[in-house]
Amino acid sequence: MSAAPQLIDSPNPAPPVPGETPSDAFLADLAAESQRLESATPDEILAWAHERYAPSLAMGTAFGPEGCLLLSLLPKLAPSTYVFNLETGYQFQQTLDLRDRICEKYGLEIDMLEPELSVPEYEALHGGPLYKTDPDRCCHDRKIKVLQRAAVGRTAWMSGIRRDQSPVRAKQPIVAWDRKFHLVKISPLANATKQGVWTRLLKEGVPYNPLHDEGYPSVGCWPCTQKADGSGDERAGRWAGNAKTECGLHTDGGGI
């Protein structure tokens, strides 16, 4: 384990208010902190995030293995974190059951944030399921807009993305300004590997989605998730047959 990161003594530059562009000093401070945390463990990054941003710190999770690992650490390292899931209405029942197991085991409350329209209302409005014809719009309506609403009044959010998951995520800093959601974005597992996450998950008995044992390397909404295609690409089963590889939460201003 590396040495605990030292907290800087000087006051931190204030985050921008809604509608304001972040100052150069603020961005430089985030970049310096991100660089310093490159040698920190995920536990140390979580503790740092909590010390700096609680009680305005949030975490989004889709209950992937990375998210489950972070959730298991929250009670000890970042106990006041507001945790949410983007409940699109299209999640697997196994994912919703996992949410219950995690909450029970770690004593967590996880807010299930829903879009304005239910699935039947949304599909009726668009003459059928939009995930078949316009998945970008579907993700925007049922994920991005929901997180934009949840971001109001908060300062920072965390997610479990790893750089080695995909080329889009490869340059994700540990700490960065997320202009899409007007929040500081913290990625405590940016440096982690798939094997490292799974080794710790299994060693520490953290609950995970049983769909992984059935051949799904990455689990999202059921209409847009398939089993592994043999390519070794852990996100190949998401939006299979479509050029789309991300829902948009981690692209275009997601700290990259």
Q: Is the peptide bond before 223 cis (omega within 30 degrees of 0)?
A: no
How far apart, in whole angstroms, are the C-alpha atoms of residue 239 and residue 225?
A: 6
- Tell me whether strands 183-186 and 175-178 are parallel, antiparallel or unpaired: antiparallel
How far apart, in whole angstroms, are the C-alpha atoms of residue 237 and residue 106?
A: 30
E-strand ranges in the chain read 57-60, 82-86, 110-113, 156-158, 175-178, 183-186
Question: Under the criterion CB under 6 A, does residue 46 sit at the interface with ligand SF4?
Answer: no
Least distance CB 206 / ligand SF4 (angstroms): 24
Strands of the sheet with 82-86, listed across from one edge: 110-113, 82-86, 57-60, 156-158, 183-186, 175-178
- 224 known member of a binding site: yes
Applying CB under 6 A, the span of 50-58, 95-103, 180-188, 219-227 interacting with ligand SF4 comes to 219-227
Least distance CB 166 / ligand SF4 (angstroms): 15
How far apart, in whole angstroms, are the C-alpha atoms of residue 45 and residue 189?
A: 9
| Binding-site size, ligand SF4 (CB under 6 A) | 13
128 contacts 36 by C-beta, under 8 angstroms: no
Question: Under the criterion CB under 6 A, does residue 221 sit at the interface with ligand SF4?
Answer: yes
Among 59, 138, 144, 186, the residue binding ligand SF4 under the rule CB under 6 A is 138
- 68 known member of a binding site: no
Among 64, 135, 217, 255, the residue binding ligand SF4 under the rule CB under 6 A is 135
Question: Which residue is listed with tokens 């109001």?
Answer: 152
Applying CB under 6 A, the span of 41-49, 138-146, 179-187, 207-215 interacting with ligand SF4 comes to 138-146
Among 72, 88, 159, 166, the residue binding ligand SF4 under the rule CB under 6 A is 88
Whether residue 68 lies in the annotated active site: no
Select the residue whose beta carbon is closest to ligand SF4 and give its number.
221
Q: List the catalytic residues.
A: 247
Point out the annotated binding site for [4Fe-4S] cluster. Answer: 138-139, 221, 224
The residues that touch ligand SF4, with contacts defined as CB under 6 A, are 88, 90, 131, 135, 138-139, 142-143, 220-221, 223-224, 247
